[in-house]
Amino acid sequence: MPAVTELERMLRGAFLRVTRPRVAVLAAVHDHPHADTQSILGVVRQVLGEVSQQTVYDVLHALTDAGLVRRIHPPDSVARYESRVGDNHHHVVCRACGAIADVDCAAGTAPCLTPADDHGFAIDEADVVYRGLCPDCSTERVTTRVR
Ligand SMILES: [Zn+2]
Ligand SMILES: [Zn+2]
């Protein structure tokens, strides 16, 4: 996790006032990539004590709007947040347990933003989700089969 001074610098750099909830939420997203709002709330409560769900929602919105965190919507999942922003990377999602991992752009420097036909849209984001089984779940299946 980046130092608190670093987190404060990020907030100021995005023209956001430095508040304890903002620092705590930003730290939680850095520490727990792809966490959902409930998990982030749990982590923030460990740090700040009582804090309302609405506060955490509002902070996540402000941080997302400011480009400090990225909101992703994996299939069959609530929104999740990550601090790896700006590189338009993709995700691989486990069909069995829902584990999520980062996948770099399929062909290099954001070529996914250059589709064969853009239909005249000014495209600034591509959302590719790879699905399969994570190592834990695929191992489990093999073991079950052997038995
Ligand atoms: Zn899995
Ligand atoms: Zn990611």
CB-proximal residues (5 Å) to ion ligand 2: 82, 102
Residues 109 and 135 in one domain: yes
Give the pLDDT of residue 90: 87
Is residue 79 in a domain?
no
Residue pair 108/116 in contact (Cβ under 8 Å)? The answer is no
The ligand with the least distance to the CA atom of 93 is: 1
Is residue 30 in a domain?
yes
Counting the structural domains of the chain, the total is 2
Give the pLDDT of residue 112: 66
Residues 8 and 68 in one domain: yes
Residue that finishes a domain, picked among 45, 72, 99: 72
How many C-beta atoms lie closer than 10 Å to residue 71's C-beta?
14
Host H or E run for residue 144 = helix 135-146
Residues 104 and 54 in one domain: no
Residue pair 22/6 in contact (Cβ under 8 Å)? The answer is no
Containing domain of residue 32, as a range? 4-72
Q: Encoding tokens for residue 108?
A: 């290099």
Residues 57 and 114 in one domain: no
Give the pLDDT of residue 77: 83
pLDDT in tens, 94-147: 999 989 999 887 665 555 666 667 788 887 777 788 899 999 999 876 665 544
Residue that finishes a domain, picked among 49, 72, 95: 72
What is the CATH number for 48? 1.10.10.10
Alpha helices in the chain (DSSP H): 4-13, 20-31, 37-48, 53-65, 135-146
Residues 8-16, mean pLDDT to the nearest whole number: 97
Calpha distance 110→113 (Å, rounded):
6
Residues 141 and 99 in one domain: yes
Cα(72) to ligand 2 centroid in Å equals 8
Cα(58) to ligand 1 centroid in Å equals 31
Residues 40 and 68 in one domain: yes
If you count them, how many residues does the chain have? 147
What is the CATH number for 133? 3.30.1490.190
Residues 18 and 49 in one domain: yes
Residues 63 and 115 in one domain: no
Residues 61 and 102 in one domain: no
Cα(62) to ligand 2 centroid in Å equals 19
Q: In what order do the strands lie in the sheet with 129-132?
A: 100-103, 90-94, 129-132
Cα(86) to ligand 2 centroid in Å equals 11
Residues 42-70, mean pLDDT to the nearest whole number: 96
Cα(6) to ligand 1 centroid in Å equals 34
